[in-house]
Amino acid sequence: MALLRNGAYRIIDANLNRAREGLRVVEEIARFDLEDSPLASHLKSLRHEIATILKEVPGEALLAARDSSCDIGKSSHYDKHQDGKELSEILKASMVRTQEAMRVLEEFSRMIDFPAGKKFKDIRFRLYAIEKEITEKLNLSVRRQVVRNWKLYLILDKELIGNKNPLKVAAAATMGGVSAVQLRCKDITDKNAFLLVSRLRQFAPLQKVAIIVNDRLDVAVMTEADGVHLGQDDLPIKETRKLLGKKRIIGISTHNQKEAIEAEKEGADYVSVGPIFPTGTKKDAGSPVGVNKIAELKKALRVPLIAIGGINETNIKEVVSAGADVVAVAAVIIKAKDITEATKNLISRAGFPDDAKN
């Protein structure tokens, strides 16, 4: 019986350490990657709660039972293929490790008549809720970083393209440095929109480019596009997310700070603001908001900010200097005689941060 109790103490000791280590990894993700102070504090309090429970166990019994040098698990094969894991995989592994440790602690605390089983069970179920919360926040963080890396965003407006081949226009812009293309086709049938987006998705020169569909969520879902861009009168962001999934991007047009802040709260991956300057591309664009609006919104938001409307080689640097994360353009590229060179010229004049240039 003494041997059994000693084994139980050894298991409890190992799993207390395992739980605290796993929680610390998750806490660091919340603190340094997500920069989510409330969540990091919550995780820290859980670690302290476990430490408090630990004080109820005779410390000398745990230490006496510990035998790390003879632990057969220490020689487990190190899988080098696990190196280079994504942050989401590290998060998942650490959460599972901690949850499993809580389950083991719940069971083996009974063997030593340690009345903490219910506490460990309670922590385990709280961890399930935390895992869902932090996973959703991490997914959002990853999607927003993808957007920040775009820098130059082409609005492939079907009316502007005219008789040009949209695939060739997009490919030429991509060669110049565009890394995201939004298809705006208000006046074509659903079938033709589906076929056009499908061709864009399958076109070899565009395989590394994000393809975003304006308004038409059904087309975005069916073609497995990289995301959808919504207007203020389109479907709500939360409902759109249910249909689009966790990996793909949702952007939304905004016209003022109130709309932008609301979009951020709803989980938008980016907000666009404009027109920054006078534009003839979009008939219902409204009055120019100016570059000061970019600076104003940048102070109020954490979500990536995309500036759009009337932007060209003469004013793009002003837009970037004001704080725009990404610049969206249409006519200045689509109407250019040499689309690739026009795109390169825009990027060279923009003054994007060196570490984020395409």
Whether 309 contacts 253, CB under 8 Å: no
Task: Say if residue 253 carries a ligand binding annotation.
Answer: yes
Which amino acid, one-letter code, is at 116?
A: A
Q: Is 168 annotated as a binding residue?
A: no
Query: Does the annotation count 184 as an active-site position?
Result: yes
Q: Which residues pair with 210 in a beta bridge?
A: 180
User: Which are the contacts of 288, defined by CB distance < 8 A and separation ≥ 6?
Assistant: 275, 276, 277, 278, 279, 309, 310
Count of positions (residues) in the chain: 358
298 assigned ligand-binding residue: no
Question: Are the C-beta atoms of 110 and 117 separated by less than 8 Å?
Answer: yes
Report how many helices (DSSP H) and strands (DSSP E) the chain contains, helices first: 15, 8
292 is in an annotated binding site: no
Spatial CB neighbours of 292, under 8 Å, sequence gap ≥ 6: 322
**281 marked ligand binding residue:** yes
Q: Give the active site residue among 10, 97, 241, 282.
A: 282
251 phi and psi, to 5 degrees? -115, 160
The distance from CA 173 to its chain's CA centroid, rounded to whole angstroms, is 25
**Is residue 254 annotated as involved in ligand binding?**
no
Sequence letter at residue 325: D
Annotation-wise, does 70 bind a ligand? no
Asked if residue 82 belongs to a known ligand binding site, the reply is: no
279 labeled binding residue: yes
Burial 308-331 (b: 16+ CB within 10 A, else e): bbbbbeeebbbbbebbbbbbbbbb
**178 near 209, Cβ under 8 Å?**
yes
Residue 178 CB burial class (10 angstroms; 0-12, 13-18, ≥19): buried
310 is in an annotated binding site: yes
Active site residue 282: yes
Query: Which position among 216, 253, 272, 293 bears the catalytic label?
Result: 253
Is 185 labeled as ligand-binding?
yes
- Amino acid identity, residue 81? H
282 has binding-site annotation: yes
Cα 259 to chain center, whole Å?
21
Active-site entry in 47, 97, 151, 184: 184
- The helix/strand/coil state of 256 is coil
User: Binding site: which residues?
Assistant: 182-186, 214-215, 234, 253, 279-282, 310
User: Binding site for Mg(2+): which residues?
Assistant: 215, 234
Residues with active-site annotation: 184, 253, 282
